[in-house]
Structure 1
Amino acid sequence: METVDRGSSGRCRVWAFDLSKWYCDCVSAEGTAFIGYWARVRWGPLVLPYAATLVKVQGQDTQERHTLVPCPEPVVRTRELHWVAKRIRAQGVWHVQVPGHSHRLVESPEGSIDWNCHAPQAECRIELADGTRIAGLGYAEHMRLTIRPWQLPFEELCWGRFLAADDALVWIEWRGRHPRRWVFYNGHEEPGSSTIDPSRIVLPDDRGTLELTDPIVLRKGRLLTGPLRAIPAASLLLRGGLRHADEAKWLSRGTFTTPTHTSSGWAVHEVVRLTRGESC
């Protein structure tokens, strides 16, 4: 998306906005969770790199690290994804079990949102500099936004992923001016209308139901009081009402039931609220 700015000379300068963002996670069988973020914002002459990790061990406080120093983004290889982030003392490999898929979620005069789910389900290994090793099922996605944050077509975002040995479920719901909903099961978009509730995802035509229980808070609070506070221009990117945006992210146990089987695993899910409204 291009931003028009009039400098002191009165001439128009057109600034393009481009956000590239990776999300990668891994949860062990015991429930130790790792989440990695990598992002780069380009907005006219401004370039902002960012990387962060979140680690949650059962019964302990969430540990977070971040850096504003450029570090390599995740690298996609055949059926694998590698990330080495020495600045935040973490590295990991995701061996993809379910083929990825990509979708353009928005295309408008204001810009676009492209979502590439590289690893709907993966066997992964994480190594931290303190010697901690986390192995389990994981997930990885990349998003590219050319639409400016204050022009996003929703007031509330509900997102989550559930993984078990034979099941991978991903859901996205936008609430607000332009409500939309997507649900993907084992790499394929579910036809029809699924139901997305705080503790339950129901696929249409009795194809499956995911029950979420025992939620553990991974992070909760305003975006600008969390990791984004480290970014000098964050208050510019989240201008206006978005400065008060808040998020809640959980790790929950999940049980997925279909007409043929039942599986158990872990779900990571979140709500990002840009304005006040009903939560999901």
Structure 2
Amino acid sequence: MRLTKWYADCVTPDGALFIGYVAHLTLGPLRLDYTASIEADSPGAPVRQHQSLRRGRIEADAAGVRLFSPGLDVSGSWTGGVGTEPRRVLGTEGAEVTWQALRLAAHAEVTTPTCGYSGTGYAEVVRLTLPPWRLPLTDLNWGRFVADDASSAHTWTRMDGATVTEVTAPDGHATLDLGETRPIRVDSVPATVLGPFSGVLSRLLPATLRHLHEAKYLSRGQLVLDGTPHDGWVVHEEVRFG
């Protein structure tokens, strides 16, 4: 089994939000492609979600990150900022989960059928050869901060309370405080991720995945880096297994 999941987001100065996902799953002879988007084109607007089983792609190189989703009619670019080398965050013999930040603090431009977004952004990729239903987890917390001027960034992943990745750019001693928070998505993962396909496809999932619950938020935050405060937006989530 091999699953590759790309994530890319953009938050505008006034708090409009775009999140895009592109995933490719290979399981023996089976190949499944999936793209999805989450949008809130103003702070008080309802959150819209769209899914497609048509193949999308994310390209990443020295020039930046580019997202293409023909099924959703979405395209975007993330330029500037820095990335990280891949990191092994979980694994057993012969199977593992790796994480890589593609852009920690980027300038993002995204076009969807109903809106255009321009702001700060973040992009990452997670690769799994360990099946998701075999992950030895009860909870996962993830988040990323990008300063309003894209001068600094911070991302973290905690599994079962233990920090497995934490990156600050530029390097230094950092603390992050969250301010005003609004929920983006709070529901079971199959219902929100699969959308209109959930009724059929969720029955094919192992019980561990059927009972995943996710709470995703957008918050104002302040990162204090080596004594200097930086204000920005924080996208963060909590996932409960079982």
Give TM-score, length-normalised by structure 2. 0.91
2:129 corresponds, among 132, 141, 146, to 146
Task: Tell me what 1:209 maps to.
Answer: 175
Residues 156 and 163, structure 2, Cα contact 8 Å, conserved in 1? no
The one of 228, 236, 241 equivalent to 1:269 is: 236
Identical aligned residues as a percent: 30
1:155-170 matched pairs, under 5 angstroms: 155-164=138-147, 165=149, 166-170=151-155
**Could you say which residue in structure 2 is the equivalent of 1:183?**
166
Q: 2:226 aligned with 1:243, yes or no?
A: no
Aligned residue-pair number:
237
> Which protein is bigger by CA-based radius of gyration?
1
Instruction: Tell whether the 8 Å contact from 1:110 to 1:151 is kept in structure 2 after alignment.
Output: no
Does the 8 A contact of 2:103 with 2:122 survive in 1? yes
Once the two structures are TM-superposed, the CA of residue 228 in structure 1 deviates from its matched residue by 2.2
Q: Find 2:45's aligned residue among 57, 60, 64.
A: 60
1:120/1:187 contact within 8 Å kept: no
**Aligned-pair CA distance for 1:138:** 0.4
- Indicate if the aligned counterparts of 2:55 and 2:69 stay in contact, CA closer than 8 A: no
Alignment match, 2:34:
50
Q: How big is the shift at 1:218?
A: 0.8
* Kept after mapping to 1: 8 A contact 2:194/2:201: no
1:134 and 2:101 matched = no
How far has the Cα of 1:187 moved from its partner?
Answer: 6.3
Root-mean-square deviation over aligned CA pairs: 1.8
**Cα pair 2:54 2:70 within 8 Å, conserved:** no
1:125 aligned residue: 109
* C-alpha displacement of 1:242: 3.1
Q: Deviations over 1:46-71 (max 9, x none)?
A: 21110011111211100111101223
Deviation at 1:109, TM superposition (A): 2.3
Is 1:27 equivalent to 2:11 in the alignment? yes
Mapped to 2, the partners of 1:241 and 1:75 lie a distance apart of: 31
Structure 1 gaps, min length 5: 1-16, 191-206, 276-280
Deviations, residues 139-190 of structure 1 (Å, cap 9, x unaligned): 00111101111211211000000000321000100007xx4432110165x8
Confirm or deny: 8 A CA contact 1:224 1:235 kept in the other structure: no
Superposed, 1:77-156 pairs within 5 Å as: 77-109=61-93, 111-130=95-114, 132-156=115-139
Residue segments in structure 2 that go unaligned for 5+ positions in a row? none
1:260 matched to 2:227: yes
| Contact 1:171–1:184 (Cα < 8 Å) also in 2 | yes
Name the residue aligned to 1:199: none
Change (3 A) 1:243 1:256: same
Query: Is 1:224 matched up with 2:207?
Result: no
| Deviation by residue 1:204-252 (Cα, 9 ceiling, x = unmatched) | xxx3321112111110011122122526544434x12431110000000
Measure how far apart 1:123 and its partner are. 0.7
Cα distance in 2, alignment partners of residues 103 and 187 from structure 1: 18
- Residue 107 to residue 187, structure 1, CA distance change in 2 (3 Å): farther
Moved over 6 A (4+): none
Q: Is the 8 A contact 2:89 2:164 kept in 1?
A: no
Provide TM-score, normalisation by structure 1: 0.79
Residues 252 and 96 (structure 1), Cα distance of their counterparts in 2 relative to 1, 3 Å cut: same
How far does residue 114 in structure 1 lie from its aligned partner after superposition? 1.3
